[in-house]
C-alpha cells in the first residue's frame, strides 16, 4: 500500500497532465463537432433564405401582374357604366369590357423555400424577428389573401357569370378567367344590349363587381407591400453573413 501511495505521490503530476490532456481532447472534439454543426446550420440557413427570396421575387411579379388585371377590371367596369348611359349600340370595345368582368386573377405563391425551411425546422433561422416574419407571411398573410380570392371566385360563379350571360355569350372553352388578353369572341346582340340598358339590376351588378374587385385589390396592395418588405429584410440578413 505504501509502495502504491509512494508511486502515486511521485507520478501524480504525470497522471494529472494525462487527465488534463484527455479532458482537453474531449472538450476539443465536442467544440469541433459544435463548430461543424453551426457552420452547417449557417450554410443551410443561407441556402434556405436565398431560395425564399427568389420565391418572393417571383411572387412579387405575380401579385403585381394580378394588380394590373384588377386595374383593368375596374377601368372596364367604369367604362361599361358610362357607355350604357350614352350609347345605343354595342361596340367591339364595349364587348371586350364586358368580357373583362369575368376576369378573376389567382395568386399562386411559390412556397418551395418555405417548405424546405419547415422540413429543416424553422429554428434554423437564427434571427428571431426574421423567423417570425417569414412564418407570418407564409402561414397567415398568404392564407388570408387566399380567402379573399376564394370569395371573389364564388361571387363570379354565383352572380357575375349568370348576370353577364343573360345578355351576352362566349365560347366558354376558350375563356381564360385569369387573363382577359386571352379571351375569345364575346358577343352581344342589339336586342340584348337594349334590354341591358334598361336593366337597373345589371347596372347594380357592375357596381358590385367594382366593389368586389376593389376589396381584393386593397388586400393585394397590402400583400405586395409585405412581400417587398420581406425581400428587403432577407437581403439585409444575407448581407450580414
| DSSP calls for 175-214 | --TT-GGG---EE--HHHHHHHHH-HHHHHHHHHHHHHHH
Q: In this predicted structure, what is the pLDDT of residue 174?
A: 43
Task: Answer whether residue 29 is part of any domain.
Answer: no
Spatial distance between the Cα atoms of 90 and 105, rounded to a whole number of angstroms = 26
How many structural domains are present in the chain? 1
pLDDT tens over the chain, length 241 residues: 555 545 545 555 655 555 665 566 565 555 445 544 555 557 889 999 999 999 999 999 999 999 999 999 999 999 999 999 999 999 989 988 998 898 888 999 999 999 999 999 998 898 999 999 999 999 999 999 999 999 999 999 999 989 988 887 765 444 444 444 454 457 888 999 999 999 999 999 999 999 999 999 999 999 999 999 999 999 999 988 6
Q: In this predicted structure, what is the pLDDT of residue 19?
A: 61
Task: Answer whether residue 125 is part of any domain.
Answer: yes
Spatial distance between the Cα atoms of 225 and 128, rounded to a whole number of angstroms = 21
The parent domain of residue 142 ranges over: 43-240
Task: Answer whether residue 25 is part of any domain.
Answer: no
Q: pTM of this prediction?
A: 0.78
Task: Answer whether residue 161 is part of any domain.
Answer: yes
Spatial distance between the Cα atoms of 146 and 219, rounded to a whole number of angstroms = 10
For the four alpha carbons of 172, 176, 177 and 182, in that order, the dihedral sign comes to: negative
Q: In this predicted structure, what is the pLDDT of residue 43?
A: 86
Task: Answer whether residue 54 is part of any domain.
Answer: yes
Task: Answer whether residue 7 is part of any domain.
Answer: no
Task: Answer whether residue 22 is part of any domain.
Answer: no
Task: Answer whether residue 99 is part of any domain.
Answer: yes
Q: Which three cell numbers stand for residue 42?
A: 449557417
For the four alpha carbons of 6, 10, 13 and 18, in that order, the dihedral sign comes to: negative
Amino acid at each position: 500500500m505504501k509502495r502504491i501511495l509512494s508511486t502515486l505521490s511521485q507520478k501524480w503530476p504525470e497522471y494529472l497532465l494525462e487527465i488534463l490532456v484527455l479532458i482537453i481532447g474531449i472538450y476539443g472534439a465536442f467544440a469541433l463537432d459544435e463548430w461543424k454543426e453551426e457552420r452547417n446550420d449557417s450554410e443551410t440557413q443561407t441556402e434556405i433564405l436565398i431560395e425564399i427570396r427568389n420565391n418572393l421575387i417571383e411572387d412579387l411579379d405575380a401579385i403585381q401582374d394580378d394588380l394590373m388585371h384588377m386595374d383593368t377590371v375596374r377601368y372596364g367596369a367604369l367604362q361599361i357604366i358610362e357607355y350604357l348611359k350614352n350609347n345605343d349600340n354595342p361596340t367591339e370595345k364595349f364587348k371586350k369590357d364586358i368580357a373583362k368582368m369575368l376576369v378573376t386573377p389567382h395568386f399562386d405563391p411559390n412556397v418551395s423555400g418555405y417548405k424546405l425551411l419547415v422540413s429543416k425546422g424553422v429554428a434554423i433561422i437564427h434571427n428571431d424577428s426574421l423567423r417570425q416574419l417569414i412564418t407570418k407571411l407564409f402561414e397567415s398573410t398568404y392564407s388570408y389573401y387566399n380567402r379573399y380570392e376564394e370569395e371573389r371566385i364564388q361571387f363570379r360563379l354565383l352572380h357575375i357569370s349568370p348576370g353577364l350571360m343573360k345578355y351576352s355569350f362566349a365560347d366558354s372553352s376558350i375563356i381564360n378567367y385569369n387573363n382577359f388578353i386571352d379571351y375569345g369572341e364575346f358577343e352581344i346582340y342589339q336586342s340584348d344590349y337594349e334590354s341591358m340598358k334598361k336593366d337597373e339590376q345589371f347596372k347594380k351588378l357592375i357596381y358590385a363587381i367594382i366593389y368586389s374587385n376593389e376589396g381584393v385589390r386593397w388586400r393585394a396592395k397590402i400583400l405586395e407591400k409585405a412581400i417587398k418588405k420581406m425581400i428587403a429584410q432577407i437581403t439585409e440578413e444575407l448581407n450580414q453573413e
